[in-house]
Amino acid sequence: MHRSSKRTRLALAITAATAATFAGIGSAHAVEGPQPIVGGEIAHTSDTPWAIQMSNTASPSPTGEYCGGTLVAANKVVTAAHCVEGTSASSWTAVQGRDDLADTSVGKESAISDIWYDPSYGQGAHDVAVVTLATPFEGVPTLPLNQDTSVGESGATATVYGWGETEGTGPADTFQKVDVPLMGDASCASAYGNEYVGEGEVCAGYEEGGKDSCQGDSGGPLVVGGKLVGIVSWGQGCADAGNPGVYSEVSTYYDELTSHIG
Ligand code: ARG
């Protein structure tokens, strides 16, 4: 969910147990409260036309800003299961090509005609979903799914995109991006314990924090080498030292996702 997902609450619950692991790092850079898509910069959907805003009627924002998504076929958007679980298709509008969500004079919109999400969501990882556009975004470039299971451990720098929380350090509901290195499963396992599922999630950020995705970015793309490697899923706070961002691992769900993209 936009503000406090179940995963986020679970992550909060394990903070005390895992805080000691990062005490040395965390205390030096401790920041109170949620932080924005820290260290990000203004981005342009003209450069990344496959980046989709998934607006929802339940959004606290007048723009409807709620989750992100990625156009993977003219009529299919990959997003996070936790974004769509328990929602009706009619509550959603997919928006393409609109950097500033308040500027409704630009970009394309589509209603959602169908929602699929991984039936194993809720049992750890599996935070993946595919929604169908009622009005396909014909002619808009799509992003291919990454199939290479080794990328998460490669140390490559990924870029994450979204319209999510900025906590005042950037304009609200405006498309942004930030580069975050893939940290490998061990980093998130030591930060989050069993809450992190190496088989199905990838870990990205900096040990010292400072750059991360945040609330409202969920479902959006984590990209390496022109492929969708991850889907914004969860984290303890945002950009806090010792608490990397956790992303659904697209390669793990490649076959399943592909079967729902057609
Ligand atoms: N669960 C959040 C959402 O629904 C995404 C949180 C990402 N957090 C992070 N620290 N990277 O928007």
Active site annotation includes 260: no
Atom of ligand 1 nearest to the CA of 238: 10
CA–CA separation, 78 and 250 (whole Å): 10
Query: Residue 162 has what pLDDT?
Result: 97
3-state secondary structure 190-217: HHHHHHCCCCCEEEECCCCCCCCCCCCC
pTM of the model: 0.88
CA–CA separation, 258 and 3 (whole Å): 29
Output the CA 4–ligand 1 centroid distance in Å: 9
Query: Residue 167 has what pLDDT?
Result: 66
Output the CA 167–ligand 1 centroid distance in Å: 14
pLDDT (tens, 9 = 90+) of the chain, 262 residues, equals 443 343 443 333 223 223 322 222 233 333 434 444 667 899 999 999 999 999 999 999 999 999 999 999 999 999 999 999 999 999 999 999 999 999 999 999 999 999 999 999 999 999 999 999 999 999 999 999 999 999 999 999 999 999 999 766 778 899 999 999 999 999 999 999 999 999 999 999 999 999 999 999 999 999 999 999 999 999 999 999 999 999 999 999 999 999 999 8
Q: Which of 31, 161, 217 to mutate to test the pocket of ligand 1 (most atoms within 8 A of CB)?
A: 217
Output the CA 53–ligand 1 centroid distance in Å: 15
Pocket around ligand 1: residues whose beta carbon is below 6 Å from it?
A: 1-2, 5, 8, 164, 212-218, 232, 234-235, 238, 245
Q: Which of 232, 236, 238, 240 to mutate to test the pocket of ligand 1 (most atoms within 8 A of CB)?
A: 232
Query: Residue 100 has what pLDDT?
Result: 97
Which sequence spans correspond to the domains of the chain? 41-261
**Could you tell me the CATH superfamily of domain 41-261?**
Trypsin-like serine proteases (2.40.10.10)
Residues 6+ apart with CB under 8 A from 52: 68, 69, 70, 71, 77, 79, 94, 95, 96
Active site annotation includes 127: yes
CB 151 within 8 A of CB 252: no
CA–CA separation, 188 and 246 (whole Å): 8
Identified catalytic residue from 5, 59, 126, 127: 127
Identified catalytic residue from 218, 233, 248, 251: 218
